A and B are shown apart, each in its own frame.
Chain A
Amino acid sequence: MPLRYLLQRVGAFFLIVWAAATINFAVPRLSSVDPVREQMMQSVAIGGSSAQSMDEVIKSYEKRFGLDQPLWKQYARYIWDMARFDFGVSITRFPTRVSAMIFDALPWTLVLVTVSTLIAFVLGSLFGALLAWPRAPKFIHVLAPPLLTFSAIPYYLLGLTLIYLFAFTWRFFPLGGGYDIGSSPGWSLDFIGQAVRHSILPALSIVLASMGFWALGMRAMMVTVQGEDYVTLAEAKGLKSRRIFLRYALRNAILPQTTALALALGHVASGAVLVEVVFGYPGVGSLLYSSIRTFDYTVIYGLTFLVIVAIGVATLILDLLLPKLDPRITYHRR
Chain B
Amino acid sequence: MTREDPDLESRVLFDALGGRVSRRDLLKGAAAAGLSASFVTKLADDVVAAGNFTPALQADVPRERTLIVVQGGNNGQNPEFNNFNLWVTSSQGGWHAGPLQTMNEPLIMFNVLTGEHENWLAETWEYNADFTEITMTLREGVEWSDGTPFTADDVAFTFNAVRDRQKEATNAAEINFLKEAVVVDPKTVKFVLNEANPRWWATTLTSNHGVVEQMLPKHIWEGQDLLTFTNYDPEKGWPVATGPYKLTSATAEQKIFDLRQDWWGAKTGWKPLPKVERVIYLPNADDSLAAQQLITNQVDMGKILSVPTLQTVFAQNPKVITYSGAQPPYGYLDWCPIDLNFNCATAPWDNAELRWAVSHAIDRTKLVALAEGGAGVTALHQFTPYEWFTPFEESLQPLYQKYGLDNQAHPEKVEEIMTKLGYEKNGDKLWESGGKTVEMNIFVPDWLKAYGPPLTQQLRDAGFDASFDTSPGLNTPYQTGEQALGFGCKGPAGVKGMDPYFMLSIYMSEYFRPTGTPAPIWWATSRWQNEEYDAVVKQMNSLSADDPKTMELFTQAMDIWIRELPDVFVAQLVIRYPMSTQHWTGWPTQEDPYGFPHSWQQEFLKTIIRLEPAS
Size of the B side of the interface (Cβ < 8 Å), in residues, is 94
**The one of B68, B283, B522 that contacts A54, using a Cβ cutoff of 8 Å:** B522
CB of B171 within 8 A of CB of A48, answer no
Considering the chains assembled together, what is the distance between the CA atoms of A46 and B89 in angstroms?
12
CB of A60 within 8 A of CB of B83, answer no
CB of B521 within 8 A of CB of A54, answer yes
User: Which residues between 292 and 312 of chain B lie within 8 Å of chain A, taking CB atoms?
Assistant: 292-293, 295-296, 298
CB of A43 within 8 A of CB of B170, answer yes
Q: Interface centre among A45, A276, A289, by most B CB within 10 Å?
A: A45
CB of A61 within 8 A of CB of B89, answer yes
Contacts of A31 in B (CB 8 A): 473
CB of B19 within 8 A of CB of A185, answer yes
Q: A42-B92, A50-B521, A50-B522 are in contact. Are A280 and B285 (CB under 8 A)?
A: yes
Min CB distance A244 to B, Å, is 44
Interface string of A259-294 (1 = CB under 8 A from B): 000000000000000001111111000110110010
Q: Does A100 contact B (CB under 8 A)?
A: yes
Size bracket, chain A contacts: 35 or more
CB of B172 within 8 A of CB of A101, answer no
Contacts of B171 in A (CB 8 A): 43, 47, 49, 51
Contacts of A168 in B (CB 8 A): 292, 295-296
Contacts of B518 in A (CB 8 A): 37, 54-55, 58
**The one of A37, A38, A187 that contacts B18, using a Cβ cutoff of 8 Å:** A187
Contacts of A38 in B (CB 8 A): 472, 475-476
CB of A286 within 8 A of CB of B75, answer yes
**The one of B46, B66, B252, B278 that contacts A99, using a Cβ cutoff of 8 Å:** B46
Q: Does B492 contact A (CB under 8 A)?
A: yes
Considering the chains assembled together, what is the distance between the CA atoms of A91 and B488 in angstroms?
24
Contacts of B492 in A (CB 8 A): 48
**The one of B89, B251, B476 that contacts A185, using a Cβ cutoff of 8 Å:** B251
Q: Does A41 contact B (CB under 8 A)?
A: yes
Number of inter-chain CB pairs below 8 Å: 223
Considering the chains assembled together, what is the distance between the CA atoms of A167 and B46 in angstroms?
34
Q: Does A33 contact B (CB under 8 A)?
A: yes
Q: Interface centre among B45, B248, B520, by most A CB within 10 Å?
A: B520
CB of B167 within 8 A of CB of A60, answer yes
Q: Does A181 contact B (CB under 8 A)?
A: yes
CB of B75 within 8 A of CB of A290, answer yes
Contacts of A33 in B (CB 8 A): 472-473, 475-476
CB of B54 within 8 A of CB of A103, answer no
Q: Does B418 contact A (CB under 8 A)?
A: no
**The one of B56, B73, B94, B176 that contacts A52, using a Cβ cutoff of 8 Å:** B176
Min CB distance B79 to A, Å, is 5
Contacts of B476 in A (CB 8 A): 32-34, 37-38, 41
Contacts of B488 in A (CB 8 A): 45
Q: Which residue of A lies closest to B46 (CB)?
A: A100
Q: Does A184 contact B (CB under 8 A)?
A: yes
CB of B522 within 8 A of CB of A45, answer yes
Q: Does A39 contact B (CB under 8 A)?
A: yes
Q: Which residue of A lies closest to B490 (CB)?
A: A48
Name the segment of A139-147, A172-180, A204-212, A325-333 touching the other chain: A172-180
Q: Does A163 contact B (CB under 8 A)?
A: yes
Q: Does A243 contact B (CB under 8 A)?
A: no
**The one of B88, B92, B253, B298 that contacts A178, using a Cβ cutoff of 8 Å:** B253
Interface string of A50-74 (1 = CB under 8 A from B): 1111111110110000000000000
Contacts of A101 in B (CB 8 A): 50, 79
Q: Does A247 contact B (CB under 8 A)?
A: no
Q: Which residue of A lies closest to B506 (CB)?
A: A50
Considering the chains assembled together, what is the distance between the CA atoms of A163 and B197 in angstroms?
55
Considering the chains assembled together, what is the distance between the CA atoms of A191 and B56 in angstroms?
13
Interface string of A206-244 (1 = CB under 8 A from B): 000000000000000000000000000000000000000
Q: Does B254 contact A (CB under 8 A)?
A: yes
Considering the chains assembled together, what is the distance between the CA atoms of A37 and B488 in angstroms?
17
Q: Does A92 contact B (CB under 8 A)?
A: yes
Contacts of A160 in B (CB 8 A): 288
User: Which residues between 63 and 107 of chain B lie within 8 Å of chain A, taking CB atoms?
Assistant: 66, 68, 73-77, 79-80, 82-83, 88-94, 96
Write the residues of chain B forming the contact surface with A, with a CB cutoff of 8 angstroms. Answer: 17-20, 42, 45-47, 49-52, 54, 56-57, 60-61, 66, 68, 73-77, 79-80, 82-83, 88-94, 96, 166-176, 209-210, 213, 227-228, 230, 248-249, 251-254, 256, 278, 280, 282-283, 285-286, 288-289, 292-293, 295-296, 298, 335-336, 445, 472-473, 475-477, 479, 488, 491-492, 495, 517-523, 600
- A-B pairs, top 8 by smallest CB distance, nearest first, are A280-B76, A49-B209, A100-B49, A104-B50, A60-B168, A44-B522, A100-B50, A93-B90
Write the residues of chain A forming the contact surface with B, with a CB cutoff of 8 angstroms. Answer: 31-34, 36-58, 60-61, 90-97, 99-101, 103-105, 107, 160, 163, 167-168, 171, 175-179, 181-187, 276-282, 286-287, 289-290, 293
Q: Could you list some 19 contacts between A and B, CB below 8 A?
A: A38-B472, A41-B476, A47-B92, A56-B168, A57-B170, A60-B167, A90-B90, A93-B80, A95-B83, A95-B230, A101-B79, A103-B46, A104-B252, A167-B292, A182-B61, A184-B249, A279-B76, A280-B285, A287-B77
